[in-house]
Amino acid sequence: MIKLCMAVMLGGALGALARFGVAQWSMAHWPKLFPLPTLLVNLLGCLLIGVLYGLWLERPELSPVLRQLLVTGLLGAFTTFSTFSLDTLRLLENGEGLLALGYVLLSVCLGLLATWAGLSLTR
C-alpha cells in the first residue's frame, strides 16, 4: 500500500508540474485567447488516458503501481477531465448510452451549479 501511495504522490507532483508548464507555454504563445491552457490540458489528458487504457487492456500484466502512478497520479493532477471522459466512454462501450448521457449532463450542469454556488458563498 505504501508503494501505491508513493507512486500516486510522485505522479501527482509530475502531473501538477506538467499542467503548470502547459499553462505557461500556452500563455506565452497565445495570451488572452479563451481558456486555451485548460482546453489543451483536457485534450492531451484524454489522449493520454486513452493510450494508457489501451495499453492496460492489451497488456494486463503491466504493473498496477505504474498504472496508479500514471493514471491516478500524473493524469489525476494534470486533468480529471480525462477520467470523466474515460468513465463516459466505458458506459457507452457497455451499451449504457442513456446512463452516459445522464452522467455527462449531471457532471457538467451540476459542476457549473456547484462552481456558481461556491463563488456565491464567497461574495
Binding-site residue set for Na(+): 76, 79
**What letter does residue 70 receive in the DSSP assignment?**
I
Residues at the annotated binding site?
A: 76, 79
Distances 10 to 16, 18, 23 between C-alpha atoms, Å: 10, 12, 20
Positive or negative: CA dihedral 51, 56, 61, 65:
positive
State the DSSP code for 14.
H
User: What are the Cα distances from residue 95, in Å, to 26, 83, 100, 103, 106?
Assistant: 38, 19, 9, 14, 19
